[in-house]
Structure 1
Amino acid sequence: MPSTNGSRPVPAHEVVIVGAGLGGIGAGVALRRIGVEDFVIIDKWPRVGGTWLANTYPGVAVDVPSPVYNFSFQPRSRWSRFFAPGAELQRYAEEVVDRQGLRGKLRLGSGAVRGDFDEEHDLWRIRLEDGSEITARYVIGAVGGLEQPHNPEIPGFDDYTGKVMHSSRWDHDYDYGGKRVAVIGTGATALQLIPELAKDVSHLTVYQRRAIWIGPKVDFPMGPVANAMLNFAPLQRTVRFLGNVGVNAGLGAGLAISDYPRVTSLGMSVAENAMKAWLFTQVRDPELRSKLTPDYRFGCKRPSISNTYFKTFTRPHVELVTDAIEHFTPTGIVSADGREREFDMVVCATGFKVMEKGYTPPYPIYGRDGLELGEFWDAHRFQAYQGVSVPKFPNAFLIVGPYAFAPGSYIPLIESTSAHAARVIKEARRRGATRVEVRQEPHDRYFARMDERAKKTHLFTQGCITSNTYYINYQGDGAAFRPSTQLEMYWENRHFPLDDYRFTTASVRELQEATS
């Protein structure tokens, strides 16, 4: 329970950050930059790292160059590879926590299960898994977008008696060596996992609904010389800047230049032909190559890179199945051609629930007038000002909200939205306000601008809706991405008009109500 100051409760903390992944860590650093020290970072996991702690499947690695995938305030110059394995990213998260002095701010092993805004006292009440409650003036939601596993909704799934694993919940105690294994899914996770599984299993069957666009992976060990060069600060900053520009261009250029559809289409055609050429060098069998060629335009789904994925399917004990899955049996899977294949283990590389009802957010959050955030988004579409704030949810900020992420590295996103939240909190402190809430008009203006831009992109104009892309949610919106450059994302989150928010104080409101 919060303490009291006279008759008014005082929250236990000024800020609660929900999530101790890179997003929550970045938010903590942003708060310290404005002089906020009374904050706590909570998480359901026993250690920091978020995605990089949860995902430990064989072959997991970052798909953005390691010298780019680090915070501007704490670059890392020691990587084992140009594309580092996931364990190194988790260790990097630990390093940031220690160097930035955040270790004492952590409360791990008990995540949030509900949030309620106390309108009378202008504070948030966060209920935790262990049954306790924590209060704070402000809350920053740093639960990542790739958080809630999406298991396939296939008849008979619960009847299967073999081992089942989702790629994000890997059971390292299970020995799959010499066993018959199935993988459902061929997205960015699967293309890292499949070549590793193929090394040890007796037979590997991959069920593909849609092929993925893949290019070569320019990966190499980062030896002492390369790491020493990156340790030279001016070079490190230059590499990081140019790398972020390149990644943003590679992953998000088509979304950022939606007003130039001919240029976008030409760029996609060039990329498609280059990736088809890469596939040709890896797979000479025309029938197999045809199965591995996407039937949708480049950019509809997040493309990826690999030097081993395609060649894995040329191995005699690896089978690619493109017939749809009809149902599970107690011992295996039946595909649309009527054939049943039996397995010892089934791996679901089926992604996450992104911008879906009941999962974004992953627990109920109640703002003013009893409005629940998930229900609001379900009824009125996913929306948030700069991807950070939603009307009727005072003193609350998001790190990865709707229309927040300009595709590229996640690090610039984290630094941008963290800076946004910190800037608002700093202004509220300056004004002595106890409540801050984004105004409806600027919020609606931003939502309309993003929605209009998104609907002009190739996702909606060149057939991407049928590609089963997570960029488009169940409402038919592109809320998972921000159709802009990361430069615009960076600038607007740091220079928005502060008058886009309404700053008020509980005591002043009470006086106004008493005299009205």
Structure 2
Amino acid sequence: MRQPSITIIGAGFGGITMALELRRAGFTDITILEQGDDVGGVWRDNTYPGAACDVPSPLYSISTNPNPDWSRRFSEQPDILAYLRDVAGRHDLLRLVRFGVTVTTAEFDERTNRWTVRTAHDEVIESDVLVTAVGQLSRPSLPSIPGRETFAGSAFHSAEWNHDVDLSGERVAVIGTGASAIQFVPEIAPEAGRLTLFQRSAPWILPKPDRVYSDWHHRVFRSVPATLRGERFLVWAIFEILTVALVDTRWRGALAGVLARKHLERQVSDPTLRAALTPDYEPGCKRMLLSDEYYPTLTRSNVDLVIDSIERIESDGVRTVDGTLHPADVIIYGTGFAATDFLAPMTVRGRGGTRLDDAWSDGAHAYLGITTAGFPNLFMLYGPNTNLGSGSIIHVLESQARHIAGLVRWLAERPGCAIEVDADIEQRFNDRIQRKLANSVWSLCGNWYRNASGKITNNWPGTVTAYRRRTRRPRRRDYRITARPTGPADTPLAPGAADSHRSR
């Protein structure tokens, strides 16, 4: 079997999972391009105070690499980053990674059926297969608020936390109340002189069943691995039930809303504040969050919640539409990510020089979230419609990696060929999931799962079990296999010498 050359962009959970699966399948000609200076992706970049995962760690880990030494059920950023470093180190993946490499363009060459990648340093890298593992939550989004550039103090996004800024005694304005804000606000409020939190919409928040794992837990997890697998299975089952509630049976989603309201009532006694913190949209329409510290923090004497819309930012603070100027020395944006701009800012060109942005002009789409017609030998991890409203994305990444490894195996058996999804198959697939998404809870409000036209481009409308079953192995009838122009299409070719990665 020939060894196709494979380029992976990104060394976070996706890139590491993909490299492990390719290695398992017997492929060794792998290069991972990472723009940062370490593995880890979002867990390397998001270092804000309190950064943690909202999926329990026994499930938020690679199934073939369980970790009996998690410090707590919902692990924090340093532990997750250490885990990824450990996995990459133990499996000798670091030698595959080229750090400090930013990909600017990727172009498919129909004469050779290979991909040409260009970097910010004008380097050219060629390979048979291109896999993108850049994630959906990797590009911070700053709000288009008039006057943002006129602010005289320090200002930064939570995903680009400025640890040189001392918040002690400062007047801190936090814009945004999403998943990051509910983690860092409780951490910084005690040190701030005054913290003003600007809320556009209140999040649904559930209790967080966190706990510290003791030495006893670690000993049991190591000596009886079935206990770690058992906790993983239990968490998986709970999330599968929640997913069905979000997609198919909204009464169960309403039950989650009852639990969230009870949580709010227990932690906030002031009726005015409680009313301001009560969401006005269906439970689950936006990401439901977990916290036991967020609500109590908002009852502190040095914390103000502002629900009036922001009119503009001025040099010395934030002015709301009621005319009030809220003084600030520091502004922190907890405003999320450009989640619907898949693969941006890279320029990707497929057959005939077609830009991926043009192919996705009506919203990103891909068969199984992995591949798009017209872009042969290009495979995506965490691509369109593979985000989860409930559950662990690692489970999805592993399913995708196995599917992609199967496609690469086809290429190894047919040297020089190109594989792409049949356009009609992709269209029918996307029509079907869009119909299902139209009936989901995510269609009932504005959220980051939808693009500017309202199309839900991010979420998978089903359970991870359904996704794994669908991606278990590639179906030959779903794909077109074409040879180089000089050879007959769809014909297994005799093994030839491998074309390895070439840089120039």
Q: Same fold (TM over 0.5)?
A: yes
Question: How far apart, CA to CA, are the structure 1 residues paired with 2:457 and 2:144?
Answer: 23
Cα displacement string for residues 106-154 of structure 1 (whole angstroms, at most 9, x for unaligned residues): 1011121111111111111111122211111000000010011110110
Identity of aligned residues (%): 34
Letter in 2 for 1:69: Y
Instruction: Provide the C-alpha distance between the structure 2 equivalents of 1:150 and 1:254, rounded to a whole number of angstroms.
Output: 30
- The code of the aligned residue for 1:415 comes to E
Tell me if the contact between 1:148 and 1:362 (Cα under 8 Å) persists in the aligned partners. no
Q: Distance in 1 between matches of 2:233 and 2:209?
A: 18
**Residues 197 and 306 in structure 2, CA contact (< 8 A), matched pair in contact too:** yes
Alignment of 1:20-419 (within 5 A): 20-231=11-222, 232-250=224-242, 252-257=243-248, 264-356=249-341, 360-378=343-361, 380-407=362-389, 408-419=391-402
Shift of 1:32: 0.8
The answer as to whether partners of 1:361 and 1:373 remain within 8 angstroms in 2 is: no
Tell me if structure 1 keeps the 8 A contact 2:154–2:331.
yes
Distance 2:371 2:100 in 1: 27
What secondary structure is seen at the aligned counterpart in 1 of 2:159?
A: coil
Q: Is the 8 A contact 1:424 1:498 kept in 2?
A: no
Note if contact 2:51-2:183 (Cα within 8 Å) is conserved in structure 1: yes
Q: TM-score, normalised by structure 2?
A: 0.94
1:456 and 1:269 map into 2 onto residues whose CA distance is 15
CA contact (8 A) 1:366 1:372 kept: yes
Asked if 2 retains the 8 angstrom alpha-carbon contact of 1:254 and 1:299, the reply is no
State the distance in 2 between where 1:144 and 1:419 align. Answer: 17
Task: State the aligned residue count.
Answer: 487
Are the aligned partners of 1:365 and 1:372 in contact in 2 as well (CA < 8 Å)? yes
Contact 2:247 2:439 in 1 (8 A): no
Q: Is the 8 Å Cα contact of residues 49 and 93 (structure 1) preserved in structure 2?
A: yes
Matching residue's letter, 1:101: D
Q: Is the 8 A contact 1:406 1:489 kept in 2?
A: no
CA shift, 1:274, in A, is 1.4
The answer (yes or no) to whether the contact 2:153–2:330 under 8 Å persists in 1 is yes
Q: Whole-Å Cα distance in 2 between the matches of residues 507 and 350 of structure 1?
A: 48
Residue 15 (structure 1) aligns with = 6
SS at match of 1:188: coil
CA–CA distance in 1 between the matches of 2:284 and 2:164?
Answer: 37
Q: Tell me which residue corresponds to 1:423.
A: 406
Q: What CA RMSD, in Å, does the superposition of the two structures yield over aligned residues?
A: 1.7
Q: CA deviation at 1:410?
A: 1.1
Partner of 1:449: 432
How far did residue 360 of structure 1 move?
4.0
Higher RCO (CA < 8 A, seq sep 6+): 2
Contact 1:433 1:503 in 2 (8 A): no
Q: Secondary structure at the match of 2:211?
A: coil
Tell me if the contact between 1:27 and 1:418 (Cα under 8 Å) persists in the aligned partners.
Answer: yes
Return the letter of the residue paired with 1:304: L
Whether the aligned pair in 2 keeps the contact of 1:124 and 1:138 (CA below 8 Å) is yes
Letter in 1 for 2:464: Q
Indicate the residue corresponding to 2:493 in structure 1.
none
For structure 1, which runs of at least 5 residues remain unmatched after alignment? 1-9, 258-263
Matches of 2:28 and 2:240, distance apart in 1: 33
C-alpha distance in 2 between matches for 1:130 and 1:501: 35
- Partner of residue 260, structure 1: none
Amino acid across the alignment from 1:82: R
Q: Secondary structure at the match of 2:163?
A: coil
CA drift at 1:170: 0.8
Q: Distance in 2 between matches of 1:475 and 1:421?
A: 30
- Whether 1:492 aligns to 2:470 is yes
In structure 2, do the counterparts of structure 1 residues 511 and 42 end up closer, same or farther at CA, with 3 Å as the change threshold? closer
Show the counterpart of 1:5: none
Q: Deviations over 1:419-453 (max 9, x none)?
A: 11111111221233521111112111111111111
